[in-house]
Amino acid sequence: MTMHKIFIAGEWREGRGEPLISTFPADGSINAELNAASLEDVDDAVAAADRAWREPAWRDLPPHRRADVLYRVSRLIEARCEALAALQTRDNGKPLAEARGLVMSAAGTARYFAAACETLEGELPTPRSADVMTFSHYEPLGVIAAITPWNSPIASEMQKVAPALAGGNAVILKPAEATPLMALELAALFEEAGLPKGLLSVLPGKGRVIGEALARHPGVRRISFTGGTETGRHLAHVAADKLISTSLELGGKSPTIVLPDADMEQAAKGVAYGIFSSAGQACIAGSRLYVHADCYTAFMERLEEITRGLRVGHPETPGTHLGPLINIRHRDSVAAYVDQARQDGGHVRIGGQVPTDPSLAAGSYYLPTIIEGLAPTSRVCREEIFGPVLVAAPFDDEDDLVAQANDSVYGLAAGIWTRDYRDALRLGARLEAGTVWVNTYKTFSISTPFGGFKESGLGREKGRQGIHAYMQQKSFYLGLGQTPNPWCD
């Protein structure tokens, strides 16, 4: 096996940090061995990034030329969708069909921010005095640290790299320990698309070492983070100490609500998709289900039937619904939550164990699981499990439902299934969540802002404003008066 190089300051180099092994979660086989970045590599990457974003060749490049790089990357990604999806699947075990979706969404993100870059406008406010004209425009921030989790690498990484580059910055990407390969492949694509050297570096390594050093580096002007709430809280402190801006896309424990008039078949399939796709390893997973008491029994029977039909299997096998979890350690933490639910008096309606199929024994698989009968105060109802585990409960009163749905430190997303849009909008307005899906779940549009309420995050990604998050406004005043300022007289 050859040693994978990492991309520092526009060069492919051997990292000077500790060895890092990327494994395939389906069977534990080794994808690649590499040396992680070292603290010296962090310094090198930041120094090169700081030079590169100030270079007139990048800084003064007309926006449509800067956009060209992103358009080229978008086309490269589309043309290589299959190979990239295969790599994404090897990196984190997502079924190939899901990985293809993520790859195409990354291509769309690059295209969207290329267009946002080309059409970026300043502001021409009407001033309060006729003696002055003002305008305000957007400038880059400088060096951006982008720190990402393992669950959807290509999509979450492009969601940071594209708007940051479109805004004229340099980016240093620190991917999750478990998934270094996709970020490195992205770097290769940007290099091929002609991105000037130094504007992008990829530094695989431990969060507490390399991520920490990057975030704390005096040359870094913004931390764009996606990951767990505790890490996000810590990075908010780091950013506060440096007085730099940050955006935090964090965890969730999102409620999904089924009203009695919902299309039951559509709702049951939507609920199953919302929690069990990506084997539940999604920040937006609809992991708490509230079904109206009038339809609870029938709905849960159908949901159980659908869940029983889901195929847990090798992520490269067509038709697999749930692939493995990221690693055995994480699988065991999911299993421990289910054990806890049993101890707390919960009834495991389906799942609640690793699959017995011997062909899956080497992978970190867990069966899709539905638990009922838990008190809302139980840990399993309150903490993010990040696995295929759904807790379900009936409700019959809207105020009580809203209180339960909002009784969470998180506020990332929510789902509502009903045929009546008045009910959906009334209920949606009462839910503390950054995204509310009605009669759909986990659908995404790059033009729609995304982010969390409460401990699910700070700031928004995507949307036309997404590029502004990586820029700062500068205002100019142009004096129009002909007479000298009378103050000196």
Q: Is 25 in the site for ligand NAD (CB under 6 A)?
A: no
Binders in 409-438 for ligand NAD, by CB under 6 A: 412
What angle, 0 to 180 degrees and rounded to 10, lies between the N-to-C axes of helices 181-192 and 63-79? 120
The candidate with the shortest Cα–Cα distance to 20, out of 31, 9, 10, is 31
Shortest spacing between CB 16 and ligand NAD, in angstroms = 18
Work out which of 73, 102, 200, 250 binds ligand NAD, going by CB under 6 A. Answer: 250
Burial class (CB in 10 A: 0-12, 13-18, 19+), 158: buried
Number of residues binding to ligand NAD, judged by CB under 6 A:
31
Tell me the DSSP string of 376-410.
TTSHHHHS---SSEEEEEEE--HHHHHHHHH-SSE
Cβ 191 vs Cβ 164: under 8 Å: no
Q: Is 311 in the site for ligand NAD (CB under 6 A)?
A: no
Work out which of 22, 74, 89, 226 binds ligand NAD, going by CB under 6 A. Answer: 226
Q: Which is nearer to ligand NAD, 26 or 238 (CB)?
A: 238
What angle, 0 to 180 degrees and rounded to 10, lies between the N-to-C axes of helices 63-79 and 153-166? 160
Q: Give the whole-angstrom CA distance, residue 19 versus residue 80.
A: 29
Work out which of 44, 50, 191, 249 binds ligand NAD, going by CB under 6 A. Answer: 249
Q: 335-374 burial, b for 16+ CB within 10 Å, e for fewer?
A: bebbebbeebebebbbbbebbeeeebeebbbbbbbbbbeb
Q: Is 384 in the site for ligand NAD (CB under 6 A)?
A: yes
Work out which of 92, 151, 169, 224 binds ligand NAD, going by CB under 6 A. Answer: 151
Q: Is 36 in the site for ligand NAD (CB under 6 A)?
A: no
Q: Is 177 in the site for ligand NAD (CB under 6 A)?
A: yes
Q: How far is CA 295 from the centre of its chain?
A: 34
Binders in 131-150 for ligand NAD, by CB under 6 A: 147-150
Q: Give the whole-angstrom CA distance, residue 103 versus residue 1.
A: 26
Based on its alpha-carbon atoms, the radius of gyration of the chain, rounded to whole angstroms, reads 24
Which of 191, 249, 384, 461 is flagged as catalytic?
Answer: 249
Binders in 251-280 for ligand NAD, by CB under 6 A: 251-252
The candidate with the shortest Cα–Cα distance to 272, out of 302, 252, 245, is 302
Q: Is 221 in the site for ligand NAD (CB under 6 A)?
A: no
Q: Which is nearer to ligand NAD, 10 or 452 (CB)?
A: 452
Q: Which is nearer to ligand NAD, 67 or 99 (CB)?
A: 99
Q: Give the whole-angstrom CA distance, residue 175 versus residue 179.
A: 7
Q: Is 463 in the site for ligand NAD (CB under 6 A)?
A: no
Q: Which residues, 6 or more positions from 425, have their beta carbon under 8 angstroms from its beta carbon?
A: 438
Residue 372 falls in the annotated catalytic set: no
Q: Which is nearer to ligand NAD, 5 or 234 (CB)?
A: 234
Residues involved in catalysis = 249
Footprint of ligand NAD (CB under 6 A) = 147-151, 156, 174-177, 207-208, 211-212, 215, 226-228, 231, 234-235, 249-252, 283, 384, 386, 412, 452, 457
